[in-house]
């Protein structure tokens, strides 16, 4: 049975992520209601607010229903099994959010038809042609040297302490700190000793790729204020880049701690709990970023090239515009970017975004079975 501490940690993480998803529609451009353009004067209309609240209520119901089902399943399980169910529940929040968005978008379309809103389409486009005086929107590769330094330290310690590492070592312990020799142990080899270091390297590579993608996302400027909107875009991308850098560094350090706990009997036997702390930290960082962007007005920039409703397919969930050369475009609600699936690279990126978490989930399930 899971300890009370674990239950609290699991529940906190689940609800913190749910909170992030539930409130996302209160961030992003106010002039868009689930992707539907609304007149600037109507953004504070009670009906508009009701539709925004509708999403939060719908998601709240979904989240609570899933939480109840999840709790019923995991209350008598150990932390590892609970973790697998938790990951499933966490990932399930995304398709449920898509369903809630589709419902709210229909409400927004009905409201638009009732009110007869006609929002003029901006036919001008602006772009920066010479960026001599502007800093890069994302952190450079040298910043990821910190990750490589952490990995190098972990590898060096493992090499120095090679003879101290036992031939057999437990990789999981029970709540009473007794090693689990039946299902979770390894024999000493290069693969098992440096297992986390490979993970650190792959993870760092993926985060570097993500950082590059942020740098490549469209810089959509407001023709009325190109300099101001450019500065906002640079700041917004830089915050995201810092966030990616920070999260990836925390992940790298945590993997190093797992390795230490595994190899040197360092008192980190309850590393599942550390994973929860890690995920909680990531969610808190994301929440902090959302609030900061809102306070500074960095989330109010609209992407002009993807403003046509007809480009948003499957109830507004997917952007598909073959005329748009951009692969990563800003989302019309919430924050962040989405993929243009009309492009082959966009389809590949979408497959990776959906496929990687599913593969991760399958891997976790196979591991604990």
Binding flag, residue 125, other proteins (CB under 8 A): yes
* d(C-alpha 20, C-alpha 286), whole Å: 8
Angle, helices 4-22 vs 46-74, to 10°: value is 160
Binding flag, residue 226, other proteins (CB under 8 A): yes
Binding flag, residue 135, other proteins (CB under 8 A): no
Binding flag, residue 304, other proteins (CB under 8 A): yes
* d(C-alpha 127, C-alpha 303), whole Å: 12
Binding flag, residue 41, other proteins (CB under 8 A): no
* Contacts (CB under 8 A) with other proteins, residues 179-208: none
CB of 151 closer than 8 Å to CB of 197:
yes
- Pick the closer one to other proteins by CB: 299 or 324: 324
CB of 139 closer than 8 Å to CB of 247:
no
* d(C-alpha 346, C-alpha 324), whole Å: 11
Binding flag, residue 130, other proteins (CB under 8 A): yes
β 312-313/185-187 pair status: unpaired
Binding flag, residue 126, other proteins (CB under 8 A): yes
Query: Minimal distance in Å, beta carbon 326 to other proteins?
Result: 4
Long-range Cβ contact pairs of 187-196 (< 8 A, separation 24 or more): 193/158, 193/162, 193/165, 193/263, 194/155, 194/158, 195/259, 196/154, 196/255, 196/256, 196/258, 196/259, 196/262
- Pick the closer one to other proteins by CB: 93 or 229: 229
Site string for other proteins, 257-276 (x = CB under 8 A): --------------------
Query: Minimal distance in Å, beta carbon 299 to other proteins?
Result: 19
Binding flag, residue 124, other proteins (CB under 8 A): yes
CB atoms within 10 A of CB 227: 12
- Pick the closer one to other proteins by CB: 110 or 125: 125
- Pick the closer one to other proteins by CB: 221 or 244: 221
Query: Minimal distance in Å, beta carbon 230 to other proteins?
Result: 8
* d(C-alpha 255, C-alpha 47), whole Å: 48
Q: Of residues 147, 172, 173, 218, which one binds other proteins by CB under 8 A?
A: 218
Query: Minimal distance in Å, beta carbon 231 to other proteins?
Result: 12
Angle, helices 271-295 vs 4-22, to 10°: value is 30
Footprint of other proteins (CB under 8 A): 123-130, 132, 218-221, 223, 226-227, 230, 304-306, 323-327
């Amino acid at each position: 049975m899971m300890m009370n501490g674990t239950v609290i940690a699991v529940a906190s993480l689940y609800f913190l992520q749910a909170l992030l998803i539930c409130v996302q529609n209160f961030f992003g451009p106010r002039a868009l209601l689930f992707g539907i353009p609304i007149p600037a004067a109507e953004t504070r209309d009670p009906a508009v607010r009701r539709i925004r609240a509708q999403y939060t209520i719908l998601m709240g119901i979904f989240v609570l229903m899933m939480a109840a089902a999840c709790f019923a399943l995991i209350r008598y399980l150990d932390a590892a099994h609970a973790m697998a169910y938790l990951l499933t529940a966490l990932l399930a929040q995304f398709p449920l959010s898509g369903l809630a968005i589709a419902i709210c978008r229909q409400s927004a379309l009905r409201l638009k038809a009732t009110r007869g809103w006609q929002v003029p389409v901006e036919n001008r486009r602006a772009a920066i042609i010479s960026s001599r005086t502007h800093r890069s929107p994302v952190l450079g590769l040298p910043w990821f040297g910190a990750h490589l330094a952490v990995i190098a330290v972990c590898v060096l310690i493992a090499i120095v302490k090679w003879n101290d590492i036992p031939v057999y070592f437990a990789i999981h312990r029970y709540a009473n700190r007794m090693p689990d020799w039946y299902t979770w142990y390894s024999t000493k080899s290069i693969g098992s000793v440096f297992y986390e270091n490979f993970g650190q390297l792959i993870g760092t590579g993926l985060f570097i790729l993500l950082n590059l993608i942020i740098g490549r996302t469209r810089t959509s400027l407001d023709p009325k204020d190109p300099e101001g909107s450019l500065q906002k875009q640079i700041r917004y991308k830089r915050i995201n880049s810092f966030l990616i850098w920070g999260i990836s560094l925390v992940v790298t350090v945590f993997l190093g701690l797992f390795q230490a706990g595994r190899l040197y009997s360092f008192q980190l036997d309850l590393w599942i709990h550390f994973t929860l702390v890690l995920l909680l930290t990531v969610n808190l960082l994301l929440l902090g970023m959302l609030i900061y962007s809102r306070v500074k007005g960095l989330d109010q920039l609209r992407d002009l090239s993807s403003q046509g409703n007809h480009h948003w397919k499957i109830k507004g969930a997917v952007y598909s515009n073959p005329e748009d050369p951009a692969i990563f475009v800003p989302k019309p609600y919430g924050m962040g970017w989405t993929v243009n699936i009309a492009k082959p690279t966009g389809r590949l990126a979408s497959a990776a975004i959906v496929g990687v978490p599913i593969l991760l989930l399958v891997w976790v399930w196979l591991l604990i079975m």
